[in-house]
Amino acid sequence: MKSLKYSFILACSITLCSCFNGPTSQVRLIDNPTANEIKLVIDGKDVVIPANSNIKYTFEYGKHNLAYNNESIEFFVKPVKFNGRGFINPTQSNYMLHTFIYATDNTSDETYDKLYEKSLNKVEVILDGEQVEVELPVKVVNNFFIEDRDNRWDYSIDENIPDEITENINKNQSYQSRKIKMYRESEYLKFLKEDGIEDEISFPNKPKKLSEINQYLFPKLDLESITCDEGKKYLQDTLDKWQQLFTLTGSDVASKYEGFGGYDGMHALLGSKKLCPNEKDPEQTYSKAIRPLDDALTKGRDIYFFVIK
């Protein structure tokens, strides 16, 4: 495989200067970056998104079904500890997270080059019909759910990247800042051409079947592997309560989620290990069995979705 290196430098400067009353739903952007209209079916309701456009859709807390292109996915919308940005990408199109480096005029070339090198990733592209590997200050994502907790960005798909940013720094201070702008693939290819790339370039894309998406998956646990009866019973009761939670909606989910998936729920799950001390469970079968659920709750603390299978 050929290895090419693309060098991108942006000359920018920084301007110097001095009862439950919480949310019961989540609004998410659904983006269609393709040249064709797409039709989704969300909870039995037809939702049409024109080509090269997006809509905002309100998901009540609870279980939902989204169908697209003769496939469907079920997911559970839930509260989070800290809010974040994100959108749904039903076509699993490519989006580019490009790193820009802003620097004051007195930044040395050496300092700038080091920052630029750190921003480079090896990326697969199709260049003049041949798949090759290049180095670009970009990360390519095409997940069904694109969340900023996993993919940080400063400027989203419909926000312009500024020529300058303003920071409170000392006069004559050398200062640098990295900012990430998200692009749709078509917009990113236009950006590359404007920056001097004349070759015909595109990015590989292999969408998954919706049934194969394991992103933010609520885990299935191996109860039969547990040799400690007290732990097995506790975990079965816990999973039964989760299944009951999946049947609730809106404020009922909001008021009860903390006890299941919030800090209270996570602490209770970890505290349940005392039910199976070493003398009862020398192989630690209970601790091993609950680990996938503990991981899912920890990683999903600030993610609004659990995929359910």
Output the DSSP codes for 128-170.
TTEEEEEEESEEEE--SEEETTTS--SB-TTSPPPSEEEE---
Same domain as 4, residue 87: yes
Asked whether residue 306 is assigned to any structural domain, the reply reads: no
Same domain as 189, residue 288: no
Choosing from 215, 244, 259, the residue where a domain stops is 215
Choosing from 191, 215, 239, the residue where a domain stops is 215
What does the pLDDT read at residue 232?
97
For residues 231 and 267, what is the distance between their CA atoms, to the nearest angstrom? 15
- pLDDT, tens digit, 9 for 90 and up, residues 226-275: 999 999 999 999 999 999 999 999 999 999 999 989 999 999 999 999 99
Asked whether residue 135 is assigned to any structural domain, the reply reads: yes
- pLDDT, tens digit, 9 for 90 and up, residues 66-106: 999 999 999 999 999 888 899 999 999 999 999 999 999 99
Residue 45: beta bridge partners? 42
Tokens of 262: 């919030």
Same domain as 210, residue 231: no
For residues 260 and 265, what is the distance between their CA atoms, to the nearest angstrom? 4
What does the pLDDT read at residue 84?
85
Tokens of 92: 């699993």
Domain that holds residue 207: 1-215
Same domain as 126, residue 273: no
Asked whether residue 309 is assigned to any structural domain, the reply reads: no
pLDDT confidence tier of residue 3, bands split at 50, 70 and 90: very low
For residues 131 and 126, what is the distance between their CA atoms, to the nearest angstrom? 4
For residues 266 and 189, what is the distance between their CA atoms, to the nearest angstrom? 44
Same domain as 266, residue 194: no
Scanning the structure block, which residue is given the tokens 């920084």? 14
For residues 281 and 233, what is the distance between their CA atoms, to the nearest angstrom? 14
Q: Is 28 left (phi over 0), alpha (psi -120 to 50) or beta?
A: beta
Q: How many other β-carbons are positioned within 10 Å of the β-carbon of residue 205?
A: 13
What does the pLDDT read at residue 114?
94
SS3 content of the chain, % helix, strand, coil (to 5): 25, 35, 40
Phi, psi of 236 (to 5 degrees): -60, -45
Q: How many other β-carbons are positioned within 10 Å of the β-carbon of residue 218?
A: 20
Same domain as 207, residue 110: yes
| Residue 308, CA distances (Å) to 213, 246, 259, 273 in order | 10, 9, 19, 26
Same domain as 109, residue 184: yes
Asked whether residue 197 is assigned to any structural domain, the reply reads: yes
Asked whether residue 308 is assigned to any structural domain, the reply reads: no
Asked whether residue 307 is assigned to any structural domain, the reply reads: no
Provide mean pLDDT across the span 205-227.
95
Same domain as 240, residue 174: no
Name the domain count of the chain.
2
Same domain as 142, residue 112: yes
- pLDDT, tens digit, 9 for 90 and up, residues 110-150: 999 999 999 999 999 998 889 999 999 999 999 999 999 88
Choosing from 164, 196, 215, the residue where a domain stops is 215
Provide mean pLDDT across the span 212-218.
94
Same domain as 56, residue 19: yes
Give, in degrees to the nearest 5, the angle at Cα 22 between 20 and 28: 145
End-to-end CA distance of the chain: 38
Same domain as 123, residue 211: yes
Q: Give CA torsion, residues 79, 85, 91, 92, to 10 deg.
A: -100
Record the pTM.
0.87
- pLDDT, tens digit, 9 for 90 and up, residues 145-203: 999 988 999 999 999 999 999 888 888 888 999 999 999 999 999 999 998 887 889 99
Same domain as 167, residue 83: yes
